[in-house]
Amino acid sequence: MKPRGVPVLLEGAKSRPQAILSHYRERIRTFNSRINAFITVLAEGEADRMPHAGGGILGGLPIAHKDIFVTRDVRTTCGSRMLADFVPPYDAAVVERLAHAGCTLLGKTNMDEFAMGSSNETSYFGPVRNPWDLERVPGGSSGGSAAAVAAGLAPVATGTDTGGSIRQPAALCGITGFKPTYGRVSRFGMIAFASSLDQAGILARSAEDVAWTLRAMAGHDPRDSTSVARPVPDYVEALGQGVRGRRIGVLENCFDTGLDPQVGERIRDALRVLERLGATLCDVRLPHLSLSVPAYYVLAPAECSSNLARYDGVRFGYRAPGARDLADLYRRSRSEGFGLEVQRRILTGTYVLSHGYYDAYYLKAQRVRRLIREDFLRAFKTVDILAGPTTPTPAFRLGEKTEDPLTMYLNDIYTIGVNLAGLPALSTPAGLVDGLPVGLQLIGGDFEEALILAAAHAFQGATEWHRLEPPGFEDSES
């Protein structure tokens, strides 16, 4: 079975759903030990517990969920020792909606602990490896989902994007990664890292596959106070819009110092493809975009320190044995249950929220966030889409940046601004550098998901980059 898109899989599922499911289960058995993409794999029959599996608009489509979405009666770890044995009693809204649409769950994918990381090396269950080079990272924090799709272990996987955690691993693994507008997809049942930034999204081979999946995921949810009550368009039908007549703003900020020159060349080549398809290119510079990283690494840790305060060793999660008293229980449970990166961000967040520093750091970062959003909104008055590289380099080697957190944080330099502004964005494969994939990022205005999906679909119709498979993981006929 060669890699096929969601529409073809759905057509095949009408006559042989078990054959399609068995194909992906066999690939997981064969290849997962190489890349460590899954934390939990459902045994045959377990996925059938879902009440709507097999029916609905995505009937028969196998799917993998990032292990940050709670799944009823299926272990949900968030990549952490703190939740290593947690079995939720309910489904996240994303899980619920996709099950109702007919998706069958393959398993839960590996991730950076509590979604904190840019390389998928902070997981308690070990690092994920990039299928394109097993000595390199897949990106994070949704690296397990990205690696699973790239290696053909799942046709579609969910992810979450707080500062680029869908788009960055999609770029490094050579697939399509999509982050919707904040509020477009419910966060109910999605374990929180930074609540004002987190958004659920999709990793798949193509924009078309994303459109089919997003159509089932998106929509208002009264259980999530940040969910927006706004009609959901038919993303599949809108794919044919193309880019003819569209104005695409090239983010010159992203071509400054720090971008690998070869990556820059591939992105310029990709932009020329869009121009040949009928788009008009113009240069855009956002004055405050360079402040995205420092603003993010004040705001995100602040929210993380609040959200993770609930893991105290008392109510649920890891509890340290043999504690002397309550204070010792708190201290040991949290220091043993959380990894170093999570501890680092909790401490940073607690510091910036503390008396005497709130105004100097947190409040100032919120003001910068507003300036960044205003820059984006001003740009969208003159252009339809903004474009640039997704990452400054191709995938780096495992362990290369783990000792230097600041260098690691800069891997999200081109993606973080989108989260601060709450906008939709997508990464599509745009070429290879030394045999490793790179991604083109497309950014839209508020709730313009259909527009950027159509642009990516047009680009993918004119190129073959999204069809490439990692060496050694090629999908064979079955």
Residues assigned a catalytic role: 66, 141, 165
Closest CA to 155 of 200, 108, 207, 209: 209
Residue 262 tokens read as 């070869």
Retrieve residue 408's tokens: 């690691």
* Cα 338 from Cα 377, distance rounded (Å): 38
Distance, CA of 293 to CA of 106 (rounded, Å): 35
Q: Are 208 and 457 in contact (CB under 8 A)?
A: yes
Question: How far is residue 143's CA from residue 149's CA, in Å, rounded to a whole number?
Answer: 10
Q: d(Cα 78, Cα 70) in Å, to the nearest integer?
A: 9
Burial 101-119 (b: 16+ CB within 10 A, else e): bbbbbbbbbbbbbbbbbbb
93 Cβ contact partners less than 8 Å away, ≥ 6 residues apart: 185, 186, 187, 188, 189, 190, 221, 223, 224
Q: Which residues contact 411 (CB under 8 A, 6 or more apart)?
A: 118, 119, 139, 164, 168, 391, 392, 393, 396, 401
CB atoms near residue 224 (< 10 Å): 16
Structure tokens at 476: 């064979």
Do residues 33 and 129 make contact, with C-beta atoms less than 8 angstroms apart?
no
CB 104 within 8 A of CB 62: yes
Polymer length in residues for the chain:
478
Helix (H, G, I), strand (E, B) or coil at 376: helix
- Collapsing DSSP states into helix, strand and coil, what is residue 215? helix
**Using an 8 Å Cβ cutoff, are 379 and 386 in contact?**
yes
Nearest-angstrom CA–CA distance, 122 and 114: 9
Is the distance from CB of 216 to CB of 57 less than 8 angstroms? yes
> Strand, helix or coil at 461?
helix
Task: Identify the bridge partners of residue 385 per DSSP, sorted by sequence position.
Answer: 248
222, with CB counted inside 10 A (0-12, 13-18, 19+), is: exposed
Dmax (CA) for the chain in angstroms is 70
Assess contact for 360 and 411: CB atoms under 8 A. no
